[in-house]
């Protein structure tokens, strides 16, 4: 084999060097290729009590593990020789166009995870063209979220409602959300009492965080979190004056275990926009809600944070869609950690999905930039999975694209 010395002009294209990134945050977010990568960064940068509040679930955390396992047990069935040079990830959801088939779920105590909190989520949602959901237990006011993600700029905000024992106070929040231009009311119905979130109990999780020798020691390698926490507006609830007990005590004090279908019908009549019911876990309840006349339901077991060993929403999805899919929109959350999970849910008939932990991992990893990275990762995975399946629009996804390899089957 004849050899020769390489010429300089031949070497030049082979020896291009990557331009260094000076910002540590930019470097770590660019290196995050999956939501699991963001989770690992978040865990390093966030005190244990705040991270575990996001990461944990109820009792033995079986529901959460099963939900994620269900998505892992999906087999995709691709079609070949399709033109997928362009894919369209947009669709109509609850009366408006969304650019992507997922939105940001309502999460409580969000500014405790990272000081930018709900504003980071709302502005990221605004720029991505997806809805942002504000929790009753949010730490940014209804009006501030509306200002950050204005309807005039094409923004869509949804308000998540827990019915309190003080009904007047609950409906005052609903009235504020309507006046602020929120277009959808997410009525959450799976919290008559708080679930047994054992990580929070073990961590002594309180609002504001309780300082103990253990929490101080845990905070030492996380100075950025404490700097942000101590130098920004004190943590407070948008819908509550103050609280000095545990999270579970707060939930049990506030939430009303007497809420019924009649109350839901009454709430629906008070709200001028769309109504979605979050926390549906049976076909029978889905059917009854369709008869009540709500616009959508969210199949959800609260991210595994309420009743442990509850039904897996993804497993319920096909039967619920067959039963009520022509009467209302069926949305889904719990266990979503990738764009592949989202595509699998859409193929099984979900109109839309919501992300909670995935968004918070990005927030803890890098504030607003981290939320942008979460959306970017999921968008890329959705688009790539669609192309590999041979579909160019969301409406082309169908049950035949997915086979559920079940480990669990009723006896």
The predicted pLDDT at position 249 comes to 65
pLDDT surpassing 90 at residue 122: yes
Digit-coded pLDDT (tens) for 197-220: 888 888 877 655 566 677 767 777
Between 158 and 405, the higher pLDDT residue: 158
Domain ranges of the chain: 25-67+92-387
- DSSP letters, 58-101, are STT-HHHHHHHHHHHTEEE----S---SS-B--EEETTEEESSS
The predicted pLDDT at position 243 comes to 56
pLDDT surpassing 80 at residue 347: yes
- Closest listed residue to residue 331, CA positions, set 293, 291, 371, 286: 286
pLDDT surpassing 80 at residue 316: yes
Digit-coded pLDDT (tens) for 4-23: 887 777 777 777 777 777 88
pLDDT surpassing 60 at residue 244: no
Digit-coded pLDDT (tens) for 351-410: 999 999 999 999 999 999 999 999 999 999 999 999 999 999 999 999 999 999 877 777
The predicted pLDDT at position 211 comes to 60
CATH of 25-67+92-387 given 3.30.70.3270, 3.20.20.70, 3.40.50.2300, 3.40.47.10: 3.20.20.70
Residues 6+ apart with CB under 8 A from 105: 133, 333, 354, 355, 356, 359
Catalytic residue IDs: 302
Residues 6+ apart with CB under 8 A from 309: 59, 62, 63, 66
Maximum mean pLDDT: which of 41-50, 261-270, 326-335: 326-335
pTM attached to this predicted model: 0.92
What percent of the chain stands above pLDDT 90?
66
Between 23 and 91, the higher pLDDT residue: 91
């Amino acid at each position: 084999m004849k050899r020769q010395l390489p010429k300089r002009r031949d070497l030049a294209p082979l020896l291009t060097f990557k331009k260094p990134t000076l910002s540590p945050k930019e470097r770590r977010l660019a290196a995050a290729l999956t939501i699991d990568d963001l989770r690992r960064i978040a865990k390093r940068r966030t005190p244990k009590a705040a991270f575990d509040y996001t990461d944990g679930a109820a009792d033995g955390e079986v529901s959460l593990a099963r939900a994620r396992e269900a998505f892992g047990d999906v087999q995709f069935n691709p079609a070949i020789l399709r033109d997928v040079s362009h894919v369209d990830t947009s669709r109509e959801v609850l009366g408006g166009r969304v650019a992507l088939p997922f939105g940001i779920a309502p999460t409580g105590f969000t500014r405790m995870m990272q000081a930018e909190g709900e504003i980071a989520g709302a502005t990221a949602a605004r720029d991505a063209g997806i809805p942002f959901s504000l929790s009753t237990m949010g730490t940014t006011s209804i009006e501030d979220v509306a200002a950050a993600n204005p309807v005039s700029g094409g923004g869509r905000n949804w308000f998540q409602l827990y019915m309190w024992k003080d009904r007047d106070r609950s409906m005052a929040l609903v009235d504020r959300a309507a006046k602020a231009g929120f277009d959808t009311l997410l009525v959450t119905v799976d919290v008559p009492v708080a679930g047994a979130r054992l990580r929070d109990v073990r961590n002594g999780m309180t609002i504001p965080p309780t300082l103990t020798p253990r929490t101080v020691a845990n905070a030492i390698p996380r100075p950025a979190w404490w700097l942000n926490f101590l130098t920004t507006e004190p943590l407070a609830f948008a819908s509550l004056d103050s609280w000095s007990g545990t999270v579970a005590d707060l939930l049990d004090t506030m939430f009303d275990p007497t809420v019924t279908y009649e109350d839901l019908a009454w709430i629906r009549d008070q709200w001028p926009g769309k109504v979605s019911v979050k926390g549906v876990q049976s076909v029978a309840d889905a059917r009854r809600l369709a008869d009540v006349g709500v616009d959508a339901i969210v199949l959800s077991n609260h991210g595994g944070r309420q009743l442990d060993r509850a039904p897996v929403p993804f497993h319920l999805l096909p039967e619920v869609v067959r039963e009520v899919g022509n009467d209302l929109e069926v949305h889904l959350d719990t266990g979503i950690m990738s764009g592949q999970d989202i595509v699998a849910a859409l193929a099984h008939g979900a109109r839309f999905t919501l992300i909670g932990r995935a968004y918070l991992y990005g927030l803890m990893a890098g504030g607003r930039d981290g939320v942008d990275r979460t959306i970017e990762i999921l968008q890329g995975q959705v688009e790539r999975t669609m192309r590999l399946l041979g579909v160019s629009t969301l409406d082309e996804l169908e049950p035949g694209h997915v086979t559920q390899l079940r480990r669990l089957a009723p006896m």
